[in-house]
Structure 1
Amino acid sequence: MDTRVTLPPPPPPAADSESLLPLAMALSLGAAVSLGITRFAYGLLLPPMRDDLGWSFTLAGGMNTANALGYLLGALATPLLLRFLSPARLMLVGSALATLFMLASGFFVDALPLLLQRLLAGVASAFVFITGGLLAARLGARDARRSGLLLGLYYGGTGLGIVASALLVPPVLQAASGVPHGWAWAWWMLAGLCLLATVGLVWPARVLGRHAPPPAPPASGAVPRVFRWRDFRPALLGYGCFGIGYIGYMTFVIALLREQGRTPLTITVFYALLGLAVMASSRLWAGLLDRHRDGQPLARLNALLGLACVLPALTSSVPLALVSGLLFGGVFLSVVASTTALVRHNLPPAQWAAGISAFTTVFAAGQIVGPTVVGFIADGPGGLALGLGVSAVVLWAGAVLALRQRAW
């Protein structure tokens, strides 16, 4: 009879949370590409392009609607592509494609090809954002105590893209002011930023691609929990309202400030402060994301975001506009992080990709509606101020819906 005792393997060493911070910060370049540059830098280019090409606000908003439609298509395709590609590889492919499509946007002046470029850039940015969020969730799983911070650092990378755009786009536009369609140079500069970020993503993609965690085995006799849309319906609806409401602000707030007579310096300061607030938000809301397993974080952050949207619609005060930008920047990417945290808290790792993809899908669907609706309202007698007011109401409705989400 074999009397040997088989000892269990030693537990893995605890994750060094400090060593994970550089990975999270490098990974945040994916958020900088997918949202900070590919999505939001268009708000700085909208006024000169609209003036040069004679666009209505509806068509100008339609450009970001096309981008959001592409984002939705990319979100739907990502789970299928992840059957053949690792998240790290798909993130790099998406970032490279986003660079090419941003570059191409500087070569066209007709609306149709520009709409197509915005759509394709949206597809690529969805690949980057979803896979980057999945890799960030894996990082958070390696240090549960600081998972909210690690997730926030990833999403806060959007602020880096916003700050870079705020500091670089206006000087490029100014330098090219005497050149026909000078705004094209800003597109090419933004493509260069995307290329640099893509190179920076190679390191975290290699590290996290090598250390993908195996699916955790279910407890004896337990049925593995799977993602079901109905279980997360209140949060999904609230997040859809977030997609509708926030994108109207990010698409048109610069145009509103220009209508109110703000100087280029004021607009640059406003947009840079917004981006810096995004970068700081990872620490502001990390505790909230770690404490709650239900829809409380999503509800509270949506409510604050509605307040940020309504301020510039109610007053042309420069100090209140800056407060609006700081509040908006300090909140809106944490709304995205809150849904990733909700998925991570309530689902096993093997289901994270399905959960994150579902939330990204409703996020993208909301963004399809938001820019065109706000642009259509802005073309009417209420102008951009009424459009941003409607965005605020939608965000508050999303807060009410999210309150009904319970933990599973």
Structure 2
Amino acid sequence: MDGAVVGSGRIDAKVMLVALGLSLAAATSLGFARFAYSLLLPTMRTALHWSYFAAGAMNTVNAVGYLGGALLVTRISDRFGNRRSFIVSGIGMVVALALTPVSAHLVPLLTLRLISGLCGAVIFVIGSSLAQQAARGLSRSGAAVVLGVYFGGAGLGTALSGAIIPAIHLRAATLWRVDWSILAVITLLAMVGATFASLQVGDPPVRSVGERHLGHYRPLLPALIAYGVFGFGYLAFLTFQVAFMSHQGLPSSRVVLSYVLFGMVAAVSGFIWFRPLAGHRPGLVAASIYLSGALGAVLYLVSTALWVEIIAGILFGLALMSCSTAFGVVTRVVLPPSLQTGAMGVATVAIAVGQSLGPLVTGQIADSHFGLAGAIGVGGAFIGLAALVSLFQRTGAA
């Protein structure tokens, strides 16, 4: 079968197609179900008369659901198997998105965001585990490419959201309902493709009873803390980035450009970082990835010039999902295959805690005299802190 040579490993064409199919799960769980909300926030806030705190609470509740899913995913997958859990969670995600336009009241909307977060975590974690399984037998560089393709799906979903959501163009207060309906249809199509890909991969090894203790993940502690701090920073930034640009009076085309740019860069970033991640210091590379994201976020505060926005979008896009790829590579080095689903589950708990706090805290900052610029600045600062923490991760000899 035709293959693509990457580094010292050979990636079979079928493996790459499976990775691309699974990447639709990442596009669903993060790109469509989570990141797209930032594009809808300005029109929903106007139509539903929300404060920035209420708007941030929508993403906080979604992150709480994500946290719940991350806490439960290993138990669910141990009991029902990865693929069955993956498929059922995909159905739940589609239903939650399809029901979102039905009500304009905050409580039902928060409930649906909670459900979509829970299903999204299960989809994302199991999808990453299936991608790890698809990459078994490959060199570290080859595995980094496969994982980069999977996690890059979230960037593709982000870019597609920025390109297709009509509310960002037309600003009609009623179109937020149409947008959620469109996202539900796209999610259904994506999960059909991801489900087919999941059927091409065997279930990852099930953890033994002795492997279900959290102490087994202690060698990953710096990476886990950095991942959680990044979760605080990047979701705080994404939640209010569109509102910040709109507040500056920038045209909707510039907002679309920003979202599409860092989404597309995120989609291909795995091909940029795979060689450094295959080296002796993936923890150091992870720190570089976080630093890129921090610089990108802060640059939005520096100038409204188009060239600055382009550089900022590229830098942020290089970090958006490559941090997950880096964590996956570190996990492959440090832990046996049977612990890798659990490791991504623990990492998803860490990032979900940060995601739960980020929009809520920065929503209060945005409502204060610091305004939206303060919220963006705090988000960028926390991403920078993740880079610092990541320097302490050790992986041993390559």
Both structures adopt the same fold (TM-score exceeding 0.5) = yes
Aligned residues of 2:168 and 2:256 also touching (Cα < 8 A): no
Q: Bigger shift: 64-73 or 269-278?
A: 269-278
Aligned to 1:62: 57
Identify the match of residue 290 of structure 2 among 299, 302, 305.
302
For residue 141 of structure 1, report the CA deviation from its aligned partner: 1.7
Closer, same or farther in 2 for the Cα pair 1:143/1:226, shift >3 Å? farther
Identify the match of residue 119 of structure 1 among 111, 114, 123.
114
Aligned to 2:127: 132
Identify the match of residue 155 of structure 1 among 151, 157, 160.
151
For residue 346 of structure 1, report the CA deviation from its aligned partner: 0.8
How many angstroms apart in 2 are the aligned matches of 1:92 and 1:142? 26
Map of 1:14-163 to 2, 5 A cutoff? 17-144=12-139, 145-163=141-159
For residue 342 of structure 1, report the CA deviation from its aligned partner: 1.1
Aligned to 1:191: 184
For residue 329 of structure 1, report the CA deviation from its aligned partner: 1.3
For structure 2, the residue ranges without an aligned partner over 5 or more in a row are: 1-8
Closer, same or farther in 2 for the Cα pair 1:46/1:16, shift >3 Å? closer
Q: Partner letter of residue 61 of structure 2?
A: A
For residue 168 of structure 1, report the CA deviation from its aligned partner: 1.1
Residue 376 of structure 1 pairs with residue 393 of structure 2: no
For residue 225 of structure 1, report the CA deviation from its aligned partner: 11
Q: SS state of the match for residue 261, structure 1?
A: coil
Aligned to 1:170: 166
Map of 1:221-370 to 2, 5 A cutoff? 228-292=216-280, 294-370=282-358
Q: Partner letter of residue 158 of structure 1?
A: A
For structure 1, the residue ranges without an aligned partner over 5 or more in a row are: 1-13, 218-222
Identify the match of residue 401 of structure 1 among 377, 389, 394.
389
Percent of residue pairs bearing the same amino acid type: 33
The aligned length equals: 385
Q: SS state of the match for residue 388, structure 1?
A: helix
How many angstroms apart in 2 are the aligned matches of 1:225 and 1:54? 46
Q: SS state of the match for residue 40, structure 1?
A: helix
Aligned residues of 1:15 and 1:143 also touching (Cα < 8 A): yes
For residue 111 of structure 1, report the CA deviation from its aligned partner: 1.1
How many angstroms apart in 2 are the aligned matches of 1:392 and 1:199? 36
How many angstroms apart in 2 are the aligned matches of 1:376 and 1:304? 26
Residue 206 of structure 1 pairs with residue 199 of structure 2: yes
Ranges of 4+ aligned residues in structure 1 off by more than 6 Å = 223-226
For residue 289 of structure 1, report the CA deviation from its aligned partner: 2.0
Aligned residues of 1:273 and 1:325 also touching (Cα < 8 A): yes
Closer, same or farther in 2 for the Cα pair 1:97/1:173, shift >3 Å? farther
How many angstroms apart in 1 are the aligned matches of 2:130 and 2:14? 15
Deviations, residues 140-159 of structure 1 (Å, cap 9, x unaligned): 22322411000000000112
Q: Partner letter of residue 184 of structure 1?
A: R
How many angstroms apart in 2 are the aligned matches of 1:162 and 1:233? 29
Deviations, residues 232-271 of structure 1 (Å, cap 9, x unaligned): 2211111111000000111111111101111111211221
Q: Partner letter of residue 246 of structure 2?
A: R
Aligned to 1:3: none
Aligned residues of 2:283 and 2:393 also touching (Cα < 8 A): yes
For residue 213 of structure 1, report the CA deviation from its aligned partner: 5.7
Q: Partner letter of residue 238 of structure 1?
A: A
How many angstroms apart in 2 are the aligned matches of 1:186 and 1:299? 36
Aligned to 1:6: none
Q: Partner letter of residue 236 of structure 2?
A: G
Aligned residues of 2:81 and 2:203 also touching (Cα < 8 A): no
Q: SS state of the match for residue 312, structure 2?
A: helix
Closer, same or farther in 2 for the Cα pair 1:259/1:235, shift >3 Å? same
Closer, same or farther in 2 for the Cα pair 1:213/1:240, shift >3 Å? closer
Closer, same or farther in 2 for the Cα pair 1:173/1:186, shift >3 Å? farther
How many angstroms apart in 1 are the aligned matches of 2:213 and 2:88? 31
Aligned residues of 1:305 and 1:327 also touching (Cα < 8 A): yes
Closer, same or farther in 2 for the Cα pair 1:226/1:57, shift >3 Å? closer
For residue 161 of structure 1, report the CA deviation from its aligned partner: 0.9
Closer, same or farther in 2 for the Cα pair 1:216/1:110, shift >3 Å? closer
How many angstroms apart in 2 are the aligned matches of 1:256 and 1:322? 16
Aligned residues of 1:249 and 1:391 also touching (Cα < 8 A): yes
Aligned residues of 1:31 and 1:156 also touching (Cα < 8 A): yes
How many angstroms apart in 1 are the aligned matches of 2:11 and 2:223? 32
Aligned residues of 1:227 and 1:354 also touching (Cα < 8 A): no
For residue 182 of structure 1, report the CA deviation from its aligned partner: 2.5
For residue 15 of structure 1, report the CA deviation from its aligned partner: 7.0
How many angstroms apart in 2 are the aligned matches of 1:225 and 1:51? 47
Deviations, residues 297-326 of structure 1 (Å, cap 9, x unaligned): 221111111111111123222321222112
Computing the radius of gyration over CA atoms, which structure comes out larger, 1 or 2? 1
